[in-house]
Amino acid sequence: MRLALSTWQEIETYLSRSKGVIIPIGSFEQHGPNGLVGTDALCPEIIANAAAGDSEDILIGPTFSVGCAQHHLAFPGSMTLRPSTMIAAIADWVASLRRHGFERIYFLNGHGGNIATIQAAFAEIYAEASFAAGGAPNRGLQLKLRNWWELEKVGALCKELYPQGHGMHATPSEVSVTYYGYPGAVKDAAMTPEIAPIGHFHDADDYRRRFPDGRIGSNPAPACPEHGERIVSLAAKALVADYNRFLDAD
Ligand code: NI
């Protein structure tokens, strides 16, 4: 069930049987020569929609598409929020949902660079409850962050599909997931060198100087829709189980 495709009456009824919602959260940033700028937002969205399927008991909220990607800004098309802006936006998204009675909000994340900021946002939101003992608007609210690549067995499948050159950014697994979701957007590009360098970076110009085509440690050339289908199908099953555990937990 998707929030964007529901009426308010359907959501009112949904809330009588579930207080949970899944929010895909990602980033808009370059993903090397054959990866889509939307990769990190598309991956959690594709997996979440596959997990929900036709179920009336799993609600998928809007995708929080632009995240923390300042280090990619030297590549055209990349967009970012400052961490402070993202924290404020997540707090407003959660407050909106909380007002209607949502109590368990599960963020399925597609971008490693978002993790610290999402965790800081959670701490800000919980602080509201902690400061105002008893009557806080956020009392009873539970938030969860899960990176899609950490869903059960997904890492092992990615290792099996790409024993070499999986890398850290513009990985063949994430590119495959987007190719499965959008087969019309499959790109063909040369990788030079075949496996990109690894290393640290600071700001956007420094990143581009160190990683001229945008990749870090990866060779996404083998990415294909067939691999993406296998990854999505496994991740979607694992997401349903993980989300249900979150709903059922204390
Ligand atoms: Ni990515």
CA–centroid distance, residue 174 to ligand 1 (Å): 6
pLDDT for 125 = 96
CA distance from start to end of the chain? 25
CA–centroid distance, residue 128 to ligand 1 (Å): 32
CA–centroid distance, residue 75 to ligand 1 (Å): 14
143-to-91, 97, 130, 156, 197 alpha-carbon distances in Å = 11, 12, 15, 27, 36
- Please tell me the distance from the alpha carbon of residue 137 to that of residue 169, in angstroms, as a whole number: 38
Token output for 70: 């300042």
CATH code of 112's domain: 3.40.50.10310
Total domains in the chain come to 1
- Please tell me the distance from the alpha carbon of residue 67 to that of residue 29, in angstroms, as a whole number: 9
CA–centroid distance, residue 110 to ligand 1 (Å): 7
What is the residue type of 46?
I
CA–centroid distance, residue 98 to ligand 1 (Å): 29
Contact 89, 64 (CB under 8 A): yes
CA–centroid distance, residue 131 to ligand 1 (Å): 36
- DSSP H or E stretch at residue 89: helix 83-100
Can you give the C-alpha Rg of the chain in angstroms?
A: 19
- Please tell me the distance from the alpha carbon of residue 205 to that of residue 212, in angstroms, as a whole number: 10
**Neighbouring residues of the ion ligand 1, judged by CB less than 5 Å:** 39-40, 174
Residue range of the domain that includes 66: 3-248
Q: Which residues contact 87 (CB under 8 A, 6 or more apart)?
A: 117, 120, 121, 124
Contact 173, 161 (CB under 8 A): yes
What is the residue type of 210?
R
Question: pLDDT 10s digit of each residue in the chain, 250 long?
Answer: 999 999 999 999 999 999 999 999 999 999 999 999 999 999 999 999 999 999 999 999 999 999 999 999 999 999 999 999 999 999 999 999 999 999 999 999 999 999 999 999 999 999 988 988 776 777 889 999 999 999 999 999 999 999 999 999 999 999 999 999 999 999 999 999 999 999 999 999 999 999 999 999 999 999 999 999 999 999 999 999 999 999 999 8
CA–centroid distance, residue 241 to ligand 1 (Å): 24
∠ Cα 226 58 22 (to 5°): 80
Half-sphere exposure of residue 143: CA atoms within 13 angstroms, side-chain side: 24
CA–centroid distance, residue 96 to ligand 1 (Å): 28
CA–centroid distance, residue 46 to ligand 1 (Å): 14
Per residue in 99-123, pLDDT (tens digit) is 999 999 999 999 999 999 999 999 9
Question: Mutual orientation of helices 39-52 and 225-248 as an angle, nearest 10°?
Answer: 60
| Secondary structure class of 144 (helix, strand, coil) | strand
pLDDT for 132 = 86
Contact 31, 88 (CB under 8 A): no
pLDDT for 12 = 98
CA–centroid distance, residue 123 to ligand 1 (Å): 25
Per residue in 199-245, pLDDT (tens digit) is 999 999 999 999 999 999 999 999 999 999 999 999 999 999 999 99
- If you search the block for the tokens 């963020």, which residue do you land on? 107
CA–centroid distance, residue 233 to ligand 1 (Å): 19
CA–centroid distance, residue 173 to ligand 1 (Å): 9
